[in-house]
Structure 1
Amino acid sequence: MSEAEASASAPLRRIKLSDQIAEDLCRRIARERMEPGQRLPNEQTLMQQYGCAKGTIREALKALEVQGLVAMRSGPNGGAEIRPVSIDAAAQQLRRFLHFRRLDFAQVYAVRRELEVALGLAVVGRLDAEALRGLEENILACEAAFAGGEHARGRSLELTFHDLLCDASDNALLGFMCRFINSLLRDLVEFQGGSATEYAAFGAHNLESHRQLVSAFRAEDAEAVGRVMREHMCCAEHYMRRLDASFRSDMLSGR
């Protein structure tokens, strides 16, 4: 029997009623354009609508809570309250997906090179005085960390610089994808080799690239932003390879 025939003849997995209800509630939230802070019907109403026991409804609501889509509120006016899915919750789901696949820096930077350039161009003209000051303060904090020998903190601050650009973007998908990659580089990278001189050169390159980017953003020079960001990403990948960087095998690890 072929694999296709075996698959076709295999019994279909029965979907639990609570999972069906959870999926239907997700569709309801989307269909009715429910906003964070609004409530789903109470348990008694849901039991009547779906013709099932309280335990089944509670299991369905728990599934939505685990997904980060609702928060359960207690009290007389309690129930399932819609809440926005956090970036951390969405990122954790992607990490679970990547945990079972081999991920290397060539793959990450093939994506990051393009996304960061697109992000830089997207925020040209969108950075007000406060946002530019935040970028400059980040550079100063990063310099202080490296000067004090706090290399891990300095590396984290370098990535925070790029997170600040995500904050300024009006493209939610682009910002999320860039922030997700930053979180992988911040949380899961281990350096296996390289000399102290190479580590220092990596940090110096990043700081200088960030200074140039701030100058280009301040001048609203899109051409310079694109050029500097592209060079920055290529050099960052180069240093990652020189320092023999790799991802930890446990992609499920948090910060």
Structure 2
Amino acid sequence: MRHEALTDKKRRLDRIKLSDQIAEDIRRRIARDAMRPGDRLPHERALMEHYGCSKGTMREALKALEVEGLVRMLSGPNGGPEIQHASIDIATQQLRQFLHFQKLDFAHVYELRKSLEESLARNVTGRLTPDHLRRLEDNIRVCEAANNDQDRILVRQAETEFHDILCEASDNVLLVFMCRFLNSMLRDLVSYRSQSMREHENFGEANIESHKELLSAFRAGDAERAARAMHQHMCCAESYMRRLDASFRSDLLSRF
């Protein structure tokens, strides 16, 4: 039975392209050797000799790793594959591609966002540096000016950037990833069918007041007050989304 299982596994591997098998082996090598961004893999010729493959196969394997954002190819006589820091943009794009084929519902988005942002507010209370607090205050001023100028695009962009600044202070990488993913979706992919400028201004004013209350709670070091303010903020934002007839655009596959 063991021999049959090994034979079956070999057949499956034989059906996988050699370049994909090499790419998978390199991923395991990076993990096994605990390689970090800036570390270098052997140059292309050494990898070809190690795997006993052609230049075309080796380049196909390295290209797959480069597209994933795991390595970058350096040119020149001392060039070759270098480990790079995983990009959150590449990871979120993969999630967008998945969601493109699903039905997106704002009720589901805000059910998740309310919970995540409340956790984020608690998590960053006491961790926000003076620089973070200054940038949050600056962000509020940008929102106020843009709202007074009726610059809807800048207002919506700045509002989500407020939450991105909070993410910078968190020590929970999973929480940060999920919050930033939802922020990017709301910033990049939401359209508003209602063109009522007064309603947009009201939305902006409500967000500004929420952000001011959050900033005050953060400065006071009051995590529970910050969490309550964030919950109210998320409920208010969800209500305005409905009133402005917000919807996700259909181009979730777009990278720009």
What TM-score do the two structures reach when normalised by structure 1?
0.93
Tell me by how many angstroms 1:148 deviates. 1.1
Which moved further from structure 2: 101-110 or 12-21? Answer: 12-21
- 1:84-163 to 2 correspondence within 5 Å? 84-163=85-164
Pick closer, same or farther for the CA change 1:113–1:213 going to 2, 3 Å.
same
Match of 1:206 in 2: 207
Contact 2:123 2:170 in 1 (8 A): yes
Tell me by how many angstroms 1:127 deviates. 1.1
SS in 2 for 1:72: strand
Aligned residue type for 2:172: N
Which moved further from structure 2: 211-220 or 35-44? Answer: 35-44
- 1:1-255 to 2 correspondence within 5 Å? 14-193=15-194, 195-255=196-256
Tell me by how many angstroms 1:193 deviates. 2.0
After the TM superposition, which segments of 4 or more aligned residues of structure 1 sit over 3 Å from their partners?
A: none
What is the RMSD of the two structures over their aligned residues, measured on CA atoms?
A: 1.4
Structure 1 residues without counterparts, runs of 5 or longer: 1-10
Cα distance in 2, alignment partners of residues 231 and 93 from structure 1: 31
Contact 1:69 1:85 in 2 (8 A): yes
Cα distance in 2, alignment partners of residues 253 and 237 from structure 1: 25
Cα distance in 1, alignment partners of residues 181 and 66 from structure 2: 22
Structure 2 residues without counterparts, runs of 5 or longer: 1-10
Aligned residue type for 1:30: A
Aligned residue type for 1:134: R
Which string of whole-angstrom CA distances, capped at 9 and with x for unpartnered residues, describes residues 110-142 of structure 1? Answer: 110100000010000011222111100000011
Tell me by how many angstroms 1:194 deviates. 5.9
SS in 2 for 1:190: strand
Tell me by how many angstroms 1:47 deviates. 1.6
Which string of whole-angstrom CA distances, capped at 9 and with x for unpartnered residues, describes residues 42-96 of structure 1? Answer: 2222122212111111110010011111111112211101001111111111111
What TM-score do the two structures reach when normalised by structure 2?
0.92
Aligned residue pair count: 245
Tell me by how many angstroms 1:106 deviates. 1.1
